[in-house]
Structures are given as structure tokens and as C-alpha cells.
Amino acid sequence: MFRYLIRRILWAILLFIIITFVTFVIFFMGPNDPARAQCGGDQARPACLKLVTEHYGLNKPLYVQYWRFFDRLVVHQNLGYSYANGSSVNQTIAKAAPVTASLVFGGAVIWMMIALSLGVYSALRPRSLLDRTAMVFVLIGISAHPVWIGLIFEYVFGVKLGWTPIANYANFFGAPAGSGLPGGPWQWFYHMILPWFTFALLFAALYVRMVRANVMETLNEDFVRTARAKGAPERRILVSHVLRNALLPVVTMLGMDIGVALGGAVFTETVYQLPGLGQNLVVGIQANDFATVQGVVVFATVAILLFNLIVDVLYAWIDPRIRLA
């Protein structure tokens, strides 16, 4: 197990270097000019461009810039400063990460709740009305784009019914003093309801199908028959024998999907104007703000790798075949 962990961590580091370097190369391959963002964009004057370029060392060779970035990151744990607005990328991410975490983890809770209840129920009653309804839900969830769903939700629940805020984020720990903005746990929850559901819908749909298939498959396993032959009641069979086995692949998927989910969060964050990582990424790309883009990529990579590691450990904990292999 320890060996396995070490190996995973070494892999993670290698992957990390590759990903950051590739991001670097991709960014500098294009005709991007990060200095332009600070010099008024389209109308940047030559003098200003020269000044800013030298200031950020943008005229240095790629490998020198990468090395500077890497050295700063590893030695000082510093992701640098935005090319577009000079803010500390560390701070940007420190502010954005809780927003994205709120969205992703809250959304994951909702999607797992939906997926488990609907999935198990439809597996137990295949072809029932609920099962069919669930499949329609799945179809909608899979085919609809989160931005579209988000706009519909905003319009229906925010503009027309007025039940929820249309958009924006409320800090869980209270809004900044004197800002007059909403804050606190309730406001946080209130503002996150629509984003959570929007975000969760696609994954809930995918996972309903997966849970349903897994539960149905596990119900046909020989050991379930063994449990019945022992005289175990159905409820016990479901809880003790079926669910844990059926959820094993779901846990793996969860680990793999966290990266996909972060990607999906970009859309949800954009449409609900949540100042999370995804939105910072989009803005950073639009503004040629490489420092911020790289910072988000680095952070997301680390988060994904870390989360995968946790899932691996969790998986080993649930599945003795891995733990004891």
C-alpha cells in the first residue's frame, strides 16, 4: 500500500511537470502577447509593450521562463502575478478555490443523492414508470448543455418566479464588512442552489445510468444468490451485499470525473457568475493572462491528482481485493 502510494505520488509529480510545461508551450506557441493586456489591449502602443514585456521577462526564451516559473513555484510556493492586472495569482486562487469547491462538492453531493436514489430505485423496479421517467431525465441531463440549463433555471426560478437569486456568489463566512453584499451560510446555500443543480444534472444523469446498471448487475451476482439462499431479507441484501459492490465502480468513476467535473464547472461558473477557478481561467485566456491561466492549471492539476489519490486510497479501503493484493 505504501509502495503503491509512493508510486502514485511520483507519477503525479511527473504528470504535473508535463502538464504545466505543455500549458506553457501551448500558450507561447500562439500569437499571444501577454503584454498587450496591460497596455490597453487592441490599441497597445509600441513603447508600452516594450516596457511591460521586459518587466515580465516575456522576451526571455521559453525554457528560461519555464524555469523561472518552476523555481518560483517550488521554492517560494508562489504562482506569480497576473499579466493582466498584476494581482497575486496565489491570492486569486485562494479566493477562487473555495467557490469552485463549494460548487463541485455541493454539486457532487446532489448528483450522488439523485443518482443513488433514482439509480437504485430504477434498478429494483426496472421498466416501472419511475424507471422510465428517470431515463427521460437522464436523456435531458446528458443532452442539455449546462449553460442552457443554467439560463433556463435563471429565467424560471430567478426572473419569473423570483425564488432564488439569478446569479452571483455569497461568501459562506460572511460578506466583506461594509460591502453590502449578501453573505453567511444561508445566503451561500441560497445562492448555490441553482448552480448546484445545474452542475449536478449532467453527472446525475450519467451516474443514474451507471448506478442502475451496476445495481442490476450486482443483483445478478452469484453472491447475492448466496445471500438469499442464506435467508437474508431483501433490504439487508441490498445494503450489505449489493450496494457496496455496486458502488465500487462508481467510486472509481468519481475519482476520474473530478477532472471532468472541474471542466464542467467552467460553464456553471460562467453562467452563474461565480468567481471560481473556471471563470478565472476563462478570463485569463481571454486576456492572454498566462500567469493566471498557468496558476489555475497548476492548482487544478494538483487538486485532481490529490483527489485521485484520495479516491485510490478510498477504493483500496472499500475493496479488499486491492488492499490485500
Q: Does 18 bind another protein (CB under 8 A)?
A: no
Three-state DSSP at 127 gives coil
Size of the site for another protein (CB under 8 A): 87
Q: Which of 3, 129, 136, 173 binds another protein (CB under 8 A)?
A: 3
Q: Which cell numbers hold the place of 94? A: 485562494
Smallest distance, another protein to C-beta of residue 321, A: 5
Stretch of 16-24, 111-119, 133-141, 147-155 lying at the interface with another protein (CB under 8 A): 147-155
The piece of 72-80, 107-115, 151-159, 208-216 that touches another protein (CB under 8 A) is 151-159
User: By CB under 8 A, is residue 84 in contact with another protein?
Assistant: yes
Window 117 to 146, contacts with another protein (CB under 8 A): 126
Rounded CA-CA distance 138/132 in Å is 10
Q: Taking phi first (over 0 means left), then psi (-120 to 50 degrees means alpha), and beta for anything else, what does residue 37 get?
A: alpha
Backbone angles phi, psi at 171, to 5 degrees: -70, 135
Select from 12, 216, 232, 314 the one that contacts another protein (CB under 8 A): 232
**Which residues in the 190-219 window bind another protein by CB under 8 A?**
none
Is residue 51 a contact point for another protein (CB under 8 A)? yes
C-alpha to C-alpha distance for 17 and 32, rounded to whole angstroms: 22
| Residue number, 19 or 285, with CB nearest to another protein | 285
The H-or-E segment that residue 285 falls in is helix 277-286
State yes or no: residue 102 binds another protein (CB under 8 A): no
Footprint of another protein on 64-83 (CB under 8 A): 82
Number of Cα atoms under 13 Å in the Cβ half of residue 18: 6
Site map for another protein, 246-285, x if CB under 8 A?
Answer: --x---------------------xxxx-x---xx-xx--
Smallest separation (angstroms) from another protein to the CB of 36: 6
Q: Burial level of 111, CB count in 10 A (0-12/13-18/19+)?
A: buried
**147 CB-near residues (< 8 Å, 6+ apart):** 267, 270, 271
Least distance CB 177 / another protein (angstroms): 9
Which are the contacts of 132, defined by CB distance < 8 A and separation ≥ 6?
Answer: none
Q: How far is the CB of 232 from another protein (least distance, A)?
A: 6
